[in-house]
């Protein structure tokens, strides 16, 4: 579907309990989620027809909504089943899945207690988030001007649409300079994350990653931390200052879209993708394969 606008794609979207034609999944221009950012979403991947950590994503979607003061009228089990129904209806095995929930158009104003809470789930085939050739040698990151906000000023633990406004701005600025993405600092000038992925560094065989207190503690992030510790690699979650970047050897980012992607450059700092990047990439790709495929590969 490369080059096709998303509103012109075909297939089925799950919309408030029904599978509807892609073109019929619409919202009104006076939807509260559009005007006031009252929307939450998830980004998930299916490998071989199985959605990786589907339940954890559904649980986080419900929690994100609660942090934005609304309740999604479906259970984790119902959301999981709906995601699977979308995959099956579109005939996808390897795909990206996007659940999104939002306040509707019944009231227009900051206050919107009476608005209907809507839920839609779409899926589409989506290859690597970054250019494959560039990914192997490490992507290049700019350093963003905008910073992740103080958690006292925004619901940082939610995957809320409004929190991505500065991410889009920062990624656009980075791409105009020829970078693949941008590293964002937090409100106190410490290393935080990229525009849509968490970040890791290595030094003397130890992995270092920022504490996830003002940005999303990614499901892929937690998966990679568990995989590293299972290998016996020490993982330290701590405050990291920008001036430390020159002391690290390897760097990689993680996320549902990014999976595990090595970084070769952050502004003036250089990194060489090495054994830890390779191990985390291989372990993660093995982890996301459905059990049946893993057994077949091992046979």
Indicate which residues carry an active-site annotation. 159
Structure tokens at 271: 């990194």
DSSP 64-95: HHHHTT---SS-HHHHHHHHHHHHHHHT-SSE
Q: Which residue has the tokens 């490998």?
A: 47
Alpha carbons within 13 angstroms on the beta-carbon side of residue 114 total: 5
Question: Are the CB atoms for 158 and 64 separated by under 8 Å?
Answer: yes
The C-alpha angle 82, 83, 85, rounded to 5 degrees, equals 60
Question: Are the CB atoms for 45 and 256 separated by under 8 Å?
Answer: yes
How are the residues of the chain apportioned to helix, strand and coil, as percentages rounded to the nearest 5? Answer: 35, 30, 35
Structure tokens at 141: 């990151």
- CA pair distance 213, 266, nearest whole angstrom: 22
Question: Are the CB atoms for 241 and 186 separated by under 8 Å?
Answer: no
Q: Find, among 268, 245, 134, the residue nearest to 199 by Cα.
A: 245
Which DSSP letter does residue 1 get? Answer: -
Which DSSP letter does residue 161 get? Answer: G
In the three-class reduction of DSSP (H, G, I as helix; E, B as strand; rest coil), residue 136 is classed as helix
Q: Find, among 31, 51, 266, 47, the residue nearest to 161 by Cα.
A: 31
Question: Are the CB atoms for 290 and 50 separated by under 8 Å?
Answer: yes
């Amino acid at each position: 579907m490369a080059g096709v606008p998303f509103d012109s794609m075909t297939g089925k979207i799950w919309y408030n309990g029904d599978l509807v034609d892609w073109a019929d999944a619409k919202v009104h221009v006076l939807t509260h989620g559009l005007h006031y950012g009252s929307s939450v979403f998830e980004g998930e991947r299916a490998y071989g027809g199985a959605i990786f950590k589907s339940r954890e994503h559904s649980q986080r979607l419900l929690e994100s909504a609660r942090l934005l003061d609304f309740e999604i009228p479906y259970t984790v089990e119902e959301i999981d089943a709906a995601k699977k129904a979308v995959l099956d209806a579109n005939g996808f095995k390897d795909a990206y899945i996007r659940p999104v929930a939002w306040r509707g158009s019944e009231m227009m104003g900051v206050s919107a207690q009476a608005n209907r809470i809507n839920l839609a789930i779409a899926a589409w085939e989506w290859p690597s988030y970054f250019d494959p050739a560039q990914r192997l040698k490490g992507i290049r990151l700019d350093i963003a001007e905008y910073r992740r906000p103080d958690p006292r000023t925004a619901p940082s633990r939610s995957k809320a649409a409004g929190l991505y406004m500065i991410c889009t701005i920062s990624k656009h600025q980075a791409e105009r300079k020829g970078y693949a993405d941008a590293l964002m600092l937090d409100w106190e000038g410490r290393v935080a994350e990229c525009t849509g992925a968490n970040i890791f560094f290595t030094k003397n065989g130890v992995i270092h990653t920022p504490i996830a207190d003002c940005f999303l503690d990614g499901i892929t992030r937690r998966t990679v931390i568990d995989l590293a510790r299972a290998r016996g690699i020490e993982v330290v979650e701590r405050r990291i200052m920008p001036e430390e970047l020159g002391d690290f050897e390897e760097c990689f980012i993680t996320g549902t879209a990014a999976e595990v992607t090595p970084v070769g450059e952050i502004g003036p700092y250089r990194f060489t993708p090495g054994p830890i990047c390779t191990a985390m990439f291989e372990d993660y790709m093995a982890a996301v394969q459905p059990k049946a495929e893993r057994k077949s590969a091992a046979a």
